[in-house]
Amino acid sequence: MATIKPSVPKGTRDFSPSEMVKRNYIFDTIKSVFRKFGYQEIQTPSMENLNTLTGKYGDEGDKLIFKILNSGDYLAKVKPEKLSPDNSNGLISEISEKALRYDLTVPFARYVVMHQNEISFPFKRFQIQPVWRADRPQRGRYREFYQCDADVVGSESLLNEAEFVLIYNEALSKFGLKDFTIKINNRKILSGIAEIIGKPELIVDMTVAIDKLDKIGLDGVVKELVERGFTETDIEKLKPVILLEGSNEEKLESLKGVLQTSETGLKGVAEIETIFNYVSALNAEILSSNRRLELDITLARGLNYYTGAIFEVKTNEVAMGSIGGGGRYDDLTGMFGLKNLTGAGISFGADRIYDVLEELKLFPESAEETTKVLISNFDPEAEAYALPVLQQLRAEGIAAELYPSSAKLKKQMGYADGKNIPYVILIGSDEIQSGELSLKDMKSGEQQKLRIEEIIKKVKH
Protein backbone atom coordinates (compact mmCIF):
# COMPACT_ATOMS: atom_id res chain seq x y z
CA MET A 1 0.00 0.00 0.00
CA ALA A 2 1.31 3.40 -0.90
CA THR A 3 1.85 5.66 2.08
CA ILE A 4 -0.29 8.77 2.01
CA LYS A 5 0.86 12.13 3.17
CA PRO A 6 -0.78 12.72 6.54
CA SER A 7 -2.99 15.77 6.77
CA VAL A 8 -6.17 16.99 8.43
CA PRO A 9 -9.23 18.16 6.49
CA LYS A 10 -9.28 21.73 5.35
CA GLY A 11 -10.20 24.16 8.11
CA THR A 12 -9.58 21.71 10.96
CA ARG A 13 -6.72 21.61 13.47
CA ASP A 14 -4.87 19.37 15.86
CA PHE A 15 -4.43 20.67 19.39
CA SER A 16 -1.12 19.67 20.95
CA PRO A 17 -0.58 19.33 24.71
CA SER A 18 0.66 22.88 25.23
CA GLU A 19 -2.28 24.26 23.27
CA MET A 20 -4.77 22.12 25.16
CA VAL A 21 -3.51 23.47 28.46
CA LYS A 22 -4.26 26.97 27.26
CA ARG A 23 -7.56 26.09 25.62
CA ASN A 24 -8.76 24.38 28.78
CA TYR A 25 -7.74 27.44 30.76
CA ILE A 26 -10.05 29.50 28.54
CA PHE A 27 -12.93 27.02 28.71
CA ASP A 28 -12.59 26.53 32.47
CA THR A 29 -12.55 30.26 33.10
CA ILE A 30 -15.66 30.84 31.00
CA LYS A 31 -17.42 27.87 32.58
CA SER A 32 -16.72 29.09 36.09
CA VAL A 33 -18.27 32.46 35.31
CA PHE A 34 -21.32 30.89 33.63
CA ARG A 35 -21.84 28.68 36.68
CA LYS A 36 -21.47 31.63 39.00
CA PHE A 37 -24.42 33.29 37.28
CA GLY A 38 -26.57 30.18 37.61
CA TYR A 39 -26.12 28.59 34.22
CA GLN A 40 -26.00 24.79 33.99
CA GLU A 41 -24.07 22.79 31.46
CA ILE A 42 -25.62 20.54 28.84
CA GLN A 43 -24.25 18.75 25.79
CA THR A 44 -26.03 17.65 22.66
CA PRO A 45 -24.92 15.16 19.98
CA SER A 46 -22.44 16.16 17.30
CA MET A 47 -25.01 15.18 14.71
CA GLU A 48 -28.63 16.15 14.44
CA ASN A 49 -31.34 14.98 12.09
CA LEU A 50 -30.89 16.93 8.91
CA ASN A 51 -34.46 18.24 8.99
CA THR A 52 -33.81 19.69 12.46
CA LEU A 53 -31.20 21.98 10.96
CA THR A 54 -32.36 22.83 7.44
CA GLY A 55 -34.29 26.03 7.01
CA LYS A 56 -33.03 27.58 10.24
CA TYR A 57 -30.05 29.50 8.90
CA GLY A 58 -31.35 30.79 5.57
CA ASP A 59 -30.40 29.54 2.13
CA GLU A 60 -26.76 30.48 2.59
CA GLY A 61 -26.63 28.69 5.89
CA ASP A 62 -28.22 25.51 4.55
CA LYS A 63 -25.43 25.24 2.02
CA LEU A 64 -22.85 25.41 4.80
CA ILE A 65 -24.26 22.48 6.76
CA PHE A 66 -22.09 19.35 6.65
CA LYS A 67 -24.38 16.51 5.62
CA ILE A 68 -23.64 12.93 6.58
CA LEU A 69 -24.05 10.32 3.90
CA ASN A 70 -26.43 7.51 4.85
CA SER A 71 -24.80 4.22 5.74
CA GLY A 72 -25.00 1.13 3.60
CA ASP A 73 -26.08 1.06 -0.03
CA TYR A 74 -27.40 4.60 0.07
CA LEU A 75 -28.20 4.82 -3.64
CA ALA A 76 -30.11 1.55 -3.89
CA LYS A 77 -33.54 3.03 -3.15
CA VAL A 78 -33.08 6.28 -5.06
CA LYS A 79 -35.15 6.45 -8.23
CA PRO A 80 -32.94 6.82 -11.31
CA GLU A 81 -34.66 10.01 -12.48
CA LYS A 82 -33.55 11.74 -9.27
CA LEU A 83 -29.92 11.17 -10.16
CA SER A 84 -29.75 13.81 -12.87
CA PRO A 85 -26.79 16.21 -12.54
CA ASP A 86 -28.99 19.24 -11.84
CA ASN A 87 -30.75 17.64 -8.89
CA SER A 88 -28.15 17.82 -6.14
CA ASN A 89 -30.58 19.51 -3.76
CA GLY A 90 -33.38 17.06 -4.39
CA LEU A 91 -30.97 14.19 -3.91
CA ILE A 92 -29.71 15.32 -0.51
CA SER A 93 -32.84 14.30 1.37
CA GLU A 94 -32.67 10.89 -0.32
CA ILE A 95 -29.09 10.05 0.59
CA SER A 96 -28.57 12.01 3.82
CA GLU A 97 -30.71 12.16 6.91
CA LYS A 98 -28.13 13.37 9.44
CA ALA A 99 -25.86 16.41 9.62
CA LEU A 100 -23.18 17.89 11.89
CA ARG A 101 -24.43 20.65 14.13
CA TYR A 102 -24.01 24.11 12.66
CA ASP A 103 -24.35 26.07 15.90
CA LEU A 104 -25.42 25.43 19.48
CA THR A 105 -28.60 27.49 19.47
CA VAL A 106 -30.83 25.36 17.25
CA PRO A 107 -29.84 22.10 18.97
CA PHE A 108 -30.59 23.87 22.24
CA ALA A 109 -34.04 24.86 20.97
CA ARG A 110 -34.61 21.24 19.99
CA TYR A 111 -33.43 20.17 23.44
CA VAL A 112 -35.79 22.56 25.22
CA VAL A 113 -38.80 21.35 23.25
CA MET A 114 -37.93 17.68 23.76
CA HIS A 115 -37.30 18.08 27.49
CA GLN A 116 -39.90 20.73 28.27
CA ASN A 117 -41.54 18.49 30.87
CA GLU A 118 -38.31 18.09 32.85
CA ILE A 119 -37.31 21.73 32.62
CA SER A 120 -38.46 24.38 35.04
CA PHE A 121 -38.41 27.81 33.45
CA PRO A 122 -36.60 30.09 33.28
CA PHE A 123 -33.97 27.63 32.11
CA LYS A 124 -30.38 28.84 32.07
CA ARG A 125 -28.01 26.59 30.22
CA PHE A 126 -24.48 26.84 28.90
CA GLN A 127 -22.83 24.65 26.33
CA ILE A 128 -19.25 24.44 25.09
CA GLN A 129 -18.88 22.15 22.10
CA PRO A 130 -17.52 22.19 18.57
CA VAL A 131 -19.67 23.15 15.60
CA TRP A 132 -19.01 22.59 11.90
CA ARG A 133 -19.49 24.78 8.87
CA ALA A 134 -18.64 23.92 5.27
CA ASP A 135 -17.38 27.44 4.79
CA ARG A 136 -14.25 28.47 3.01
CA PRO A 137 -11.62 28.73 5.71
CA GLN A 138 -9.43 31.79 6.13
CA ARG A 139 -7.60 33.57 8.90
CA GLY A 140 -9.33 33.03 12.24
CA ARG A 141 -12.08 31.09 10.54
CA TYR A 142 -12.34 27.33 10.61
CA ARG A 143 -14.61 24.53 9.48
CA GLU A 144 -14.55 23.08 12.97
CA PHE A 145 -14.53 25.48 15.88
CA TYR A 146 -15.83 25.73 19.44
CA GLN A 147 -18.67 27.86 20.61
CA CYS A 148 -19.19 28.79 24.25
CA ASP A 149 -22.86 29.66 24.58
CA ALA A 150 -24.97 30.69 27.54
CA ASP A 151 -28.69 31.11 26.96
CA VAL A 152 -31.74 31.63 29.11
CA VAL A 153 -35.19 30.69 27.88
CA GLY A 154 -38.53 31.51 29.42
CA SER A 155 -37.62 34.85 30.97
CA GLU A 156 -38.47 38.22 29.49
CA SER A 157 -36.66 40.13 32.21
CA LEU A 158 -33.99 42.52 31.02
CA LEU A 159 -32.04 41.51 34.10
CA ASN A 160 -30.77 38.67 31.93
CA GLU A 161 -29.30 41.11 29.43
CA ALA A 162 -27.72 43.10 32.23
CA GLU A 163 -26.17 39.93 33.61
CA PHE A 164 -24.70 39.11 30.21
CA VAL A 165 -22.81 42.38 30.46
CA LEU A 166 -21.55 41.33 33.87
CA ILE A 167 -20.57 37.90 32.56
CA TYR A 168 -18.56 39.39 29.71
CA ASN A 169 -16.96 41.87 32.05
CA GLU A 170 -15.99 39.25 34.61
CA ALA A 171 -14.73 36.61 32.19
CA LEU A 172 -12.65 38.99 30.11
CA SER A 173 -11.24 40.64 33.24
CA LYS A 174 -10.27 37.20 34.55
CA PHE A 175 -8.29 36.67 31.37
CA GLY A 176 -6.34 39.80 32.20
CA LEU A 177 -7.86 41.90 29.43
CA LYS A 178 -7.99 45.54 30.44
CA ASP A 179 -9.38 47.46 27.51
CA PHE A 180 -12.40 45.94 25.85
CA THR A 181 -15.77 47.24 24.75
CA ILE A 182 -19.13 45.57 25.17
CA LYS A 183 -21.28 47.04 22.43
CA ILE A 184 -25.00 46.95 22.81
CA ASN A 185 -27.84 47.82 20.50
CA ASN A 186 -31.49 46.90 20.13
CA ARG A 187 -33.24 45.42 17.15
CA LYS A 188 -36.31 47.50 18.01
CA ILE A 189 -34.30 50.69 17.62
CA LEU A 190 -33.18 49.53 14.19
CA SER A 191 -36.78 48.68 13.29
CA GLY A 192 -37.81 52.12 14.48
CA ILE A 193 -35.22 53.78 12.29
CA ALA A 194 -36.38 51.80 9.26
CA GLU A 195 -39.94 52.84 10.13
CA ILE A 196 -39.06 56.52 10.36
CA ILE A 197 -37.54 56.59 6.89
CA GLY A 198 -40.52 54.66 5.61
CA LYS A 199 -38.74 51.49 4.56
CA PRO A 200 -39.56 48.95 7.30
CA GLU A 201 -39.35 46.10 4.80
CA LEU A 202 -35.72 46.93 4.11
CA ILE A 203 -34.55 46.68 7.70
CA VAL A 204 -32.27 43.73 7.03
CA ASP A 205 -30.63 45.48 4.09
CA MET A 206 -30.27 48.60 6.18
CA THR A 207 -28.62 46.82 9.10
CA VAL A 208 -26.28 44.79 6.93
CA ALA A 209 -25.08 48.00 5.30
CA ILE A 210 -24.66 50.21 8.37
CA ASP A 211 -23.02 47.36 10.29
CA LYS A 212 -20.03 47.87 8.02
CA LEU A 213 -19.50 51.51 8.95
CA ASP A 214 -16.17 51.09 10.72
CA LYS A 215 -14.98 48.78 7.96
CA ILE A 216 -15.88 50.63 4.75
CA GLY A 217 -16.61 54.14 6.05
CA LEU A 218 -19.59 56.38 5.46
CA ASP A 219 -19.11 56.55 1.68
CA GLY A 220 -19.03 52.77 1.45
CA VAL A 221 -22.16 52.47 3.52
CA VAL A 222 -23.99 55.03 1.39
CA LYS A 223 -22.96 53.17 -1.75
CA GLU A 224 -24.21 49.90 -0.35
CA LEU A 225 -27.48 51.47 0.81
CA VAL A 226 -28.11 52.73 -2.72
CA GLU A 227 -27.41 49.28 -4.11
CA ARG A 228 -29.86 47.81 -1.64
CA GLY A 229 -32.70 50.09 -2.75
CA PHE A 230 -32.50 53.23 -0.62
CA THR A 231 -33.04 56.69 -2.12
CA GLU A 232 -31.01 59.84 -1.52
CA THR A 233 -33.69 61.22 0.82
CA ASP A 234 -33.72 57.99 2.82
CA ILE A 235 -30.00 58.22 3.24
CA GLU A 236 -30.11 61.88 4.28
CA LYS A 237 -32.50 60.86 7.04
CA LEU A 238 -30.29 57.95 8.02
CA LYS A 239 -26.99 59.79 8.16
CA PRO A 240 -27.42 61.66 11.45
CA VAL A 241 -28.54 58.44 13.13
CA ILE A 242 -25.64 56.41 11.82
CA LEU A 243 -23.15 59.07 12.82
CA LEU A 244 -24.60 59.51 16.30
CA GLU A 245 -21.84 60.41 18.76
CA GLY A 246 -21.37 61.19 22.40
CA SER A 247 -21.98 59.39 25.66
CA ASN A 248 -24.56 56.64 26.02
CA GLU A 249 -26.94 59.10 27.67
CA GLU A 250 -26.56 61.64 24.88
CA LYS A 251 -27.19 59.01 22.25
CA LEU A 252 -30.29 57.80 24.03
CA GLU A 253 -31.61 61.34 24.31
CA SER A 254 -31.19 62.11 20.63
CA LEU A 255 -32.68 58.75 19.69
CA LYS A 256 -35.76 59.58 21.73
CA GLY A 257 -36.13 62.65 19.56
CA VAL A 258 -35.54 60.90 16.25
CA LEU A 259 -37.79 57.98 17.10
CA GLN A 260 -40.64 59.89 18.77
CA THR A 261 -43.17 58.73 16.18
CA SER A 262 -42.08 55.11 16.32
CA GLU A 263 -43.57 53.13 19.17
CA THR A 264 -41.24 50.22 18.47
CA GLY A 265 -38.19 52.43 18.37
CA LEU A 266 -39.01 54.07 21.68
CA LYS A 267 -39.54 50.67 23.25
CA GLY A 268 -36.05 49.72 22.16
CA VAL A 269 -34.64 52.86 23.75
CA ALA A 270 -36.52 52.12 26.98
CA GLU A 271 -35.15 48.57 27.03
CA ILE A 272 -31.60 49.82 26.72
CA GLU A 273 -32.20 52.25 29.56
CA THR A 274 -33.56 49.50 31.77
CA ILE A 275 -30.53 47.32 31.04
CA PHE A 276 -28.20 50.21 31.87
CA ASN A 277 -30.03 50.75 35.14
CA TYR A 278 -29.66 47.10 36.12
CA VAL A 279 -25.98 47.12 35.20
CA SER A 280 -25.42 50.27 37.18
CA ALA A 281 -27.08 48.78 40.26
CA LEU A 282 -25.08 45.55 39.96
CA ASN A 283 -21.70 46.99 39.09
CA ALA A 284 -21.53 50.74 38.68
CA GLU A 285 -17.90 50.53 37.66
CA ILE A 286 -18.77 49.04 34.28
CA LEU A 287 -20.79 52.07 33.29
CA SER A 288 -18.35 54.58 34.69
CA SER A 289 -15.24 53.14 33.07
CA ASN A 290 -14.47 54.54 29.70
CA ARG A 291 -15.94 52.73 26.72
CA ARG A 292 -16.55 49.51 28.66
CA LEU A 293 -20.26 49.40 27.78
CA GLU A 294 -21.21 51.34 24.70
CA LEU A 295 -24.45 51.88 22.84
CA ASP A 296 -23.66 51.45 19.16
CA ILE A 297 -26.45 52.07 16.68
CA THR A 298 -24.45 50.61 13.81
CA LEU A 299 -24.20 47.26 15.56
CA ALA A 300 -26.46 44.88 13.72
CA ARG A 301 -24.88 41.43 13.45
CA GLY A 302 -25.97 39.32 10.55
CA LEU A 303 -28.38 37.15 12.42
CA ASN A 304 -31.86 38.38 11.69
CA TYR A 305 -33.59 36.38 14.39
CA TYR A 306 -32.66 38.84 17.11
CA THR A 307 -35.67 40.78 18.31
CA GLY A 308 -34.38 42.80 21.26
CA ALA A 309 -30.94 43.49 22.62
CA ILE A 310 -27.90 42.77 20.47
CA PHE A 311 -24.39 42.36 21.90
CA GLU A 312 -20.92 42.33 20.50
CA VAL A 313 -17.61 42.39 22.35
CA LYS A 314 -14.32 43.64 21.01
CA THR A 315 -10.91 44.01 22.51
CA ASN A 316 -9.16 47.32 21.92
CA GLU A 317 -5.71 45.95 22.73
CA VAL A 318 -5.31 43.86 19.58
CA ALA A 319 -6.65 44.19 16.07
CA MET A 320 -9.12 41.35 16.04
CA GLY A 321 -12.72 40.83 15.04
CA SER A 322 -15.35 40.40 17.71
CA ILE A 323 -14.57 37.97 20.51
CA GLY A 324 -18.17 37.49 21.55
CA GLY A 325 -21.74 38.29 20.68
CA GLY A 326 -25.35 37.55 21.38
CA GLY A 327 -28.81 38.93 21.83
CA ARG A 328 -32.47 38.28 22.48
CA TYR A 329 -34.60 36.25 20.13
CA ASP A 330 -38.33 35.74 20.64
CA ASP A 331 -39.91 32.49 19.62
CA LEU A 332 -36.76 30.40 19.55
CA THR A 333 -38.68 27.16 19.87
CA GLY A 334 -41.67 28.02 17.69
CA MET A 335 -40.22 26.13 14.77
CA PHE A 336 -40.40 22.99 16.87
CA GLY A 337 -43.98 23.61 17.97
CA LEU A 338 -43.42 25.27 21.35
CA LYS A 339 -44.79 28.80 21.09
CA ASN A 340 -44.27 31.97 23.08
CA LEU A 341 -40.96 31.06 24.62
CA THR A 342 -38.50 33.92 24.59
CA GLY A 343 -34.77 33.46 24.81
CA ALA A 344 -31.59 35.46 25.14
CA GLY A 345 -28.03 34.34 24.90
CA ILE A 346 -24.39 35.17 24.43
CA SER A 347 -21.40 33.45 22.99
CA PHE A 348 -17.63 33.65 23.51
CA GLY A 349 -15.31 33.14 20.55
CA ALA A 350 -12.79 30.87 22.22
CA ASP A 351 -10.45 30.61 19.25
CA ARG A 352 -10.14 34.34 18.92
CA ILE A 353 -9.71 34.81 22.65
CA TYR A 354 -6.87 32.31 22.40
CA ASP A 355 -5.15 34.39 19.75
CA VAL A 356 -5.65 37.58 21.76
CA LEU A 357 -4.24 36.10 24.97
CA GLU A 358 -1.33 34.61 23.05
CA GLU A 359 -0.50 37.93 21.46
CA LEU A 360 -0.73 39.81 24.75
CA LYS A 361 1.14 37.02 26.57
CA LEU A 362 -1.61 36.72 29.13
CA PHE A 363 -1.63 32.95 29.63
CA PRO A 364 -0.57 32.10 33.18
CA GLU A 365 2.73 30.25 33.35
CA SER A 366 1.44 27.67 35.81
CA ALA A 367 -0.84 26.46 33.06
CA GLU A 368 2.18 25.07 31.24
CA GLU A 369 3.38 22.58 33.82
CA THR A 370 2.40 18.98 33.49
CA THR A 371 4.32 16.29 35.34
CA LYS A 372 5.84 17.61 38.56
CA VAL A 373 8.42 14.90 39.19
CA LEU A 374 10.24 12.44 36.98
CA ILE A 375 11.97 9.45 38.60
CA SER A 376 14.99 8.33 36.65
CA ASN A 377 15.48 4.71 35.76
CA PHE A 378 19.06 3.37 36.07
CA ASP A 379 18.56 -0.36 36.08
CA PRO A 380 16.01 -3.02 37.05
CA GLU A 381 17.04 -2.83 40.69
CA ALA A 382 16.52 0.93 40.86
CA GLU A 383 13.26 0.60 38.97
CA ALA A 384 11.96 -1.87 41.55
CA TYR A 385 12.99 0.50 44.32
CA ALA A 386 11.32 3.42 42.54
CA LEU A 387 7.88 1.86 42.13
CA PRO A 388 6.67 2.38 45.73
CA VAL A 389 8.21 5.87 45.70
CA LEU A 390 6.20 6.64 42.58
CA GLN A 391 3.01 5.46 44.24
CA GLN A 392 3.77 7.50 47.34
CA LEU A 393 4.14 10.67 45.29
CA ARG A 394 0.91 10.03 43.43
CA ALA A 395 -0.92 9.26 46.66
CA GLU A 396 0.07 12.77 47.76
CA GLY A 397 -1.53 14.17 44.64
CA ILE A 398 1.75 14.91 42.92
CA ALA A 399 1.82 14.30 39.17
CA ALA A 400 4.72 11.89 38.87
CA GLU A 401 6.14 9.45 36.38
CA LEU A 402 8.93 6.89 36.25
CA TYR A 403 11.00 6.80 33.10
CA PRO A 404 9.81 3.54 31.56
CA SER A 405 13.17 2.06 30.59
CA SER A 406 16.75 2.27 31.78
CA ALA A 407 17.88 4.51 28.95
CA LYS A 408 20.93 6.72 29.17
CA LEU A 409 20.58 9.36 31.83
CA LYS A 410 21.21 12.04 29.25
CA LYS A 411 18.14 10.92 27.39
CA GLN A 412 16.07 10.79 30.56
CA MET A 413 17.12 14.30 31.55
CA GLY A 414 16.38 15.49 28.06
CA TYR A 415 12.93 13.98 28.35
CA ALA A 416 12.30 15.89 31.59
CA ASP A 417 13.59 19.04 30.02
CA GLY A 418 11.50 18.77 26.88
CA LYS A 419 8.41 18.14 28.95
CA ASN A 420 9.10 21.04 31.28
CA ILE A 421 9.21 18.80 34.35
CA PRO A 422 10.55 20.87 37.27
CA TYR A 423 12.01 18.04 39.44
CA VAL A 424 13.91 14.84 38.75
CA ILE A 425 14.58 12.18 41.39
CA LEU A 426 17.72 10.14 40.81
CA ILE A 427 17.86 6.69 42.34
CA GLY A 428 21.08 4.68 42.07
CA SER A 429 22.87 2.22 44.30
CA ASP A 430 24.00 4.97 46.73
CA GLU A 431 20.48 6.23 47.17
CA ILE A 432 19.05 2.75 47.63
CA GLN A 433 21.60 2.05 50.34
CA SER A 434 21.17 5.31 52.25
CA GLY A 435 17.45 5.82 51.61
CA GLU A 436 18.22 9.43 50.74
CA LEU A 437 17.18 10.21 47.20
CA SER A 438 18.82 12.81 45.00
CA LEU A 439 16.36 15.52 44.07
CA LYS A 440 17.37 17.75 41.22
CA ASP A 441 15.71 21.10 40.64
CA MET A 442 15.74 21.43 36.88
CA LYS A 443 15.41 25.21 36.87
CA SER A 444 18.26 26.05 39.22
CA GLY A 445 20.27 22.91 38.50
CA GLU A 446 20.73 22.37 42.24
CA GLN A 447 20.68 18.87 43.63
CA GLN A 448 20.32 17.60 47.18
CA LYS A 449 19.88 14.31 49.00
CA LEU A 450 16.59 14.08 50.84
CA ARG A 451 14.31 11.49 52.40
CA ILE A 452 11.10 10.84 50.50
CA GLU A 453 8.99 12.68 53.12
CA GLU A 454 11.14 15.78 52.68
CA ILE A 455 10.89 15.52 48.92
CA ILE A 456 7.10 15.38 49.08
CA LYS A 457 7.05 18.45 51.30
CA LYS A 458 9.38 20.38 49.03
CA VAL A 459 7.67 19.44 45.79
CA LYS A 460 4.15 19.96 47.03
CA HIS A 461 4.32 23.49 48.42
Partner RNA sequence: GUAGGUAUAGCUCAGUUGGUUAGAGCAUCAGAUUGUGGUUCUGAGGGUCGUCGGUUCGAGCCCGAUUACUUACCCCA
Per CB under 7 A, 318 contacts RNA: no
Per-residue x/- marks for RNA, 65-104, CB under 7 A? --------------------------------------x-
Residue 290 vs 366, nearer CB to RNA? 366
| Torsion angle of the four alpha carbons 45, 54, 123, 309, in this order, in degrees rounded to the nearest 10 | 130
- d(Cα 137, Cα 139) in Å, to the nearest integer? 7
Distance CA 183, CA 392 (A): 53
| Residue of 14, 59, 60, 201 that binds RNA (CB under 7 A) | 60
Interface residue with RNA, options 66, 145, 180, 230 (CB under 7 A)? 145
Q: State the nearest-atom distance from the C-beta of 414 to RNA, in Å.
A: 4
Residue 380 binds RNA, judged by CB under 7 A: no
**11 in contact with RNA (CB under 7 A):** yes
Q: Which of 73, 89, 120, 139 binds RNA (CB under 7 A)?
A: 139
Quick check: 135 binds RNA (CB under 7 A)?
A: yes
Among positions 1, 9, 361, 366, the unique one binding RNA when judged by CB under 7 A: 9
The letter for the amino acid at 2 is A
Q: Mapping DSSP to helix (H, G, I), strand (E, B) and coil, where does residue 294 land?
A: strand
CA-CA distance, 105 to 109, in Å (whole number)?
6
Interacting residue with RNA among 342, 349, 354, 401 (CB under 7 A): 349
Kindly tell me which of 104 and 197 has the beta carbon lying closer to RNA.
104
At 127, which helix (H) or strand (E)? strand 123-132
Among 35, 82, 115, 136, binds RNA (CB under 7 A): 136
**Closest separation in Å from C-beta 416 to RNA:** 7
* Number of Cβ within a 10 Å radius of residue 344: 28
Evaluate the omega torsion of the peptide bond into residue 122 and state whether it is cis, within 30 degrees of 0. yes
Q: Does 202 bind RNA (CB under 7 A)?
A: no
Nearest approach in angstroms of CB 344 to RNA is 15
Q: Minimum Å distance from CB 254 to RNA?
A: 27
- b/e for 29-48, b at 16 or more Cβ within 10 A? bbbebbeebebeebeeeebb
Shorter beta-carbon distance to RNA: residue 369 or 417: 417
Is 62 an interacting residue with respect to RNA (CB under 7 A)?
A: no
Q: Calculate the alpha carbon distances from 113 to 1, 39, 199, 220, 281 in Å.
A: 50, 18, 35, 43, 34
The interface region with RNA, picked from 8-16, 82-90, 169-177, 240-248 by CB under 7 A, is 8-16
Among 67, 98, 133, 314, binds RNA (CB under 7 A): 133
Helix axes 187-196, 263-282, angle to 10 degrees: 150
Question: Which listed residue (52, 127, 147, 342) binds RNA by CB under 7 A?
Answer: 147
CB of 332 to RNA, least distance (A): 14
Q: Within positions 413 to 452, which residues make up the interface with RNA, using CB under 7 A?
A: 413-414, 416-418, 426, 428-431, 438, 440, 442-443, 445, 447
Q: What gap in Å lies between CA 2 and CA 48, rounded to an integer?
A: 36
> Smallest distance from the beta carbon of 92 to RNA, in angstroms?
14
- Whole-number Cα distances in Å, 112 to 116, 119, 125, 325, 352: 5, 8, 10, 22, 29
Helix (H, G, I), strand (E, B) or coil at 386: helix
Site string for RNA, 262-301 (x = CB under 7 A): ---------------------------------------x
Listing DSSP states for 229-241 in one string gives T--HHHHHHHHHH
Number of residues that bind RNA (CB under 7 A): 52
How many angstroms separate the Cα of 199 from the Cα of each of 136, 193, 206, 259? 34, 9, 9, 14
Cα separation, 238 vs 223, in Å, equals: 13
- Provide the minimum distance between the beta carbon of 329 and RNA in the complex, in angstroms, as a whole number: 12
Q: Where are the alpha helices (DSSP H) in 115-247?
A: 159-174, 187-196, 203-210, 213-227, 232-242
Q: Where do contacts with RNA occur on this chain (CB under 7 A)?
A: 7, 9-11, 60, 103, 133, 135-143, 145, 147, 208, 212, 301-303, 321-322, 324-325, 347, 349, 351-352, 378, 408-411, 413-414, 416-418, 426, 428-431, 438, 440, 442-443, 445, 447
